Amino acid sequence: MTRNIGIAAVLAAVAATAVVAQPGGFGQRMQAVLAEPFVGLTADGTPEPGLFELGKTGVSTADVRRAAESLLGSLSAEQRDRAMFPVDDSEWRNWANVHLFARQGVSVLEMTESQRELAYGLIRASLSERGYQTSRDIMRLNHTIAEMIDNFDDYGEHLYFFTFMGEPSADEPWGWQLDGHHLVVNYFVVGDQVVMTPVFMGSEPVSAASGKFAGTTIMQPEQDEALAFMQSLTGEQRADATLGTDKQRGENEAEMMADNVTVPYEGLAATRLNAAQREAFVDLIELYVGNMDEGHAALRMDEVMAQLDKTYFAWKGRVEADGVFYYRIHSPVVLIEFDHQLPVGTQKLNAPDRPTRDHIHVVIRTPNGNDYGKDLLRQHLEQHPH
């Protein structure tokens, strides 16, 4: 087995760091965010009620539970203490997509090889094969940026932390979180229901031209299919979808520390799409929802389709073949944002004041109070007081 000498002790100290001690000024900001009661992302500040129903789905979560139990069972008592939180803990909300962040839980870096395989097994059991592959490729590309800028202190394949909220259970609510640079997965389970949001995926670079993971590439379908969809719109439809053509900064509204953000419905209503456009639009949504395991992704798409006539597509940026852009898909039950970002680690390769296709951010949320499964947890606790 391979292990960095002393890394467990170092990471334990990092995990024990108070929130207020976060680097880069994030501590005070996060402290203020966590002090706010959770409301959830809304279109006007008030959550729309009755959108999410607690019940049986018929899609098993047993494999996810067993994978979580296996990983937890492999941890030392000290690691387990660091990894475990109550199911309603604010640790759910204490995540960030930036690299400079004092994270909680147990890092993949400190794990033994056998523990790492169990950690990857939990991701594989919970996500689709495509979702798993994208997640691992993001981690690999985090090694690529470390190679490019020679900084393995802040970047690397294994600088990702696992936490667990609640004990894995067939009946009681619980969940797990993976938190690291450009990859955050929140996975809530109650019975056979799953809520997998917020999810953050992205990378800089998006493709490894050389190095250990040369040839690794992510997020190209999410980029290319959206551009093709935008180009398929009529002039009038495109005008309605367009929020602006001048894109100079990061546009995502719902990244870290934005659990209660208000994002109004903007852009082109799905009701104005013809049959072919509607099919392409649904296919685009499925690229994101399809990161979940197949059974729960199908259930999630049922939720999305039930609200399709209340769904909007918004765009900012260029529509040329090599253009950079931002787009948003927004309904009462899903918000998806895709954004070409300014360069950070690749400034030597890209103009520092212009967004680049080499740096992508994606965020997926469940609006109206059900991020982290909060609305389902509320209903469960009302029916089964603890």
> Does residue 205 have a cis bond before it (omega within 30 degrees)?
yes
- Rg over CA atoms, the chain: 20
The pLDDT value given to residue 22: 59
The pLDDT value given to residue 12: 37
DSSP one-letter code for 47: P
What distance in Å separates the CA atoms of residue 143 and residue 156, rounded to the nearest whole number?
4
The pLDDT value given to residue 385: 79
The pLDDT value given to residue 23: 58
pTM (2 d.p.): 0.93
Taking the C-alpha atoms of 143, 144, 146 and 147 in order, what is their torsion angle to the nearest 10 degrees?
120
Domain ranges of the chain: 220-372
Angle at 336 between CA 333 and CA 338, to 5 degrees: 175
The pLDDT value given to residue 4: 37
Return averaged pLDDT per consecutive 10 residues of the chain, 386 residues in all. 36 38 72 95 97 97 98 98 98 95 96 98 98 98 97 96 98 98 98 98 97 98 98 98 94 97 98 98 98 98 98 98 97 98 89 93 98 98 87
**Roughly what angle, to the nearest 10 degrees, separates helices 62-74 and 113-126?**
160
